[in-house]
Amino acid sequence: MITTPITSDAFRETVQQLVDEYRKQHASNPMAPAPVVPSLGPAFTTLHPSDAVPSMIALVSPWADVASPDPLIAHVSQQVVTLEVAYAAFCGLSTVILPPLFRKGHTPTSSAVAIYSDMVSRTLGIGPYLQIVVPFPMDNQKLATEEVPPALQAEDEIDSPGRKTDIDDALTPWDSWNHVRVTCDYAAKLAVGRSHNSHSFHDRSPVGTAY
């Protein structure tokens, strides 16, 4: 089996542009509605239904951070995830790996975990035959450089409104996983993708081989 991204770099660039433009507009027009991501087209994806599909695992764009402290990034990321999962389901892929909750540097806050869980539970409803794999590190060790997922350009480091005194130890990733699966009612289609001490993502064309 082999992993495949669902969208291309062009899509990411388009989304990044959308975000940047909105930021410029927002400065002068605070009432402007948040941007809406365009639906996928041939420029944005090379994935299509084919005989190769049964041996593929779809990788939802790892730069889609639905629990980002930057509300704009979170907003577009939600749309990106929904679009991509729906398209992967349409193409007939059976397994989809969602973007990670645990990203570079910080441990997600409890509200981030809740937002992420909500996203996961929605993706379960998108494709009736789709298995959803949620990546988690085994513990709270720092990620190696190759494992840090890419991210959309956020506006300055927004301080996440979290309680600094929440426990943050080796079991914290497990805690977050527990929250996700309880939110999804222990769904049979939901499973963990676990890295031994970190997770791995690449935003280029198929490089993962699963067997």
Partner 1 sequence: MTVPQLVLLTDVHQALVIPRLLPDDHLQSRWYSEPLRILFLPTSSFATNSNSHPVLSKAHQAMLTKYMRLQQAPWLLLSGPSELPQPNSDAVGSADPTPAEAAALPAQPYPQVARLAYLRYLQRTQPSLPPLARFAHGYQDFLQSPLQPLTDNLESITYEVFEKDPIKYAWYEQAVALALKDLYEELKRPIVVAVVGAGRGPLMTRSLMASSATEIPIVPYAVEKNQNAYVLLQRQNATNPLWAGNVQVVKTDMRTWIGPLDAEGNPAKVDILVSELLGSFADNELSPECLDGVQHHLDPSHGVSIPQSYTAWTSPISSPRIYADLFHRPADPDKWSLPYVTMLHQFSFLSHTEEILPPTSAGLISFSSSIQQCWEFLHPLPPSVIAQSALRKQGGAIAPGLCGGDGWNEHNSRSCNLVFPIKPNNRGVCHGLAAYFETVLYRSRDGSQVVELSTNPNTMDEKSKDMISWFPIFFPLKTPLLVPDNGEVRVDMHRKTDDRKVWYTWQVSTWVEIGGKWQRTAMSEVHCSAQNGCLM
What is the closest distance, in whole angstroms, from the C-beta atom of residue 18 to partner 1 in the complex? 29
Decide if residue 186 touches partner 1 (CB under 8 A): yes
x/- letters, 89..108, toward partner 1 (CB under 8 A): ------x-x-----------
* Residues within window 15-34 making contact with partner 1, judged by CB under 8 A: none
What is the spatial distance between Cα 95 and Cα 85, in angstroms, rounded to a whole number? 10
What is the closest distance, in whole angstroms, from the C-beta atom of residue 20 to partner 1 in the complex? 30
- In 3D, which of 90, 94, 71 has the Cα closest to residue 82? 90
User: Which listed residue (63, 91, 177, 183) binds partner 1 by CB under 8 A?
Assistant: 177
DSSP secondary structure letter of residue 73: H
Tokens (6 digits) for 162: 């979290």
User: Which listed residue (142, 153, 158, 166) binds partner 1 by CB under 8 A?
Assistant: 142
Residue 135's DSSP bridge partners are 193
Helix (H, G, I), strand (E, B) or coil at 181: helix
Q: Which amino acid would we find at residue 27?
A: A
Stretch that binds partner 1, among 42-50, 74-82, 104-112, 203-211 (CB under 8 A): 203-211
Binding footprint of partner 1, residue count (CB under 8 A)? 50
- In 3D, which of 104, 105, 97, 120 has the Cα closest to residue 176? 120
What is the closest distance, in whole angstroms, from the C-beta atom of residue 14 to partner 1 in the complex? 26
What is the closest distance, in whole angstroms, from the C-beta atom of residue 168 to partner 1 in the complex? 11
- In 3D, which of 171, 182, 185, 177 has the Cα closest to residue 136? 177
The smaller minimum CB distance to partner 1, of residues 156 and 211, is found at 211
User: Which listed residue (109, 121, 160, 197) binds partner 1 by CB under 8 A?
Assistant: 197
Tokens (6 digits) for 143: 């990620």
Helix (H, G, I), strand (E, B) or coil at 10: helix
DSSP secondary structure letter of residue 167: -
Residue labelled with tokens 């998108």: 126
* Site residues for partner 1 per CB under 8 A: 1-3, 57, 95, 97, 131, 133, 135, 138-139, 141-142, 144-147, 167, 169-171, 174-175, 177-178, 181-182, 185-188, 190-202, 206-211
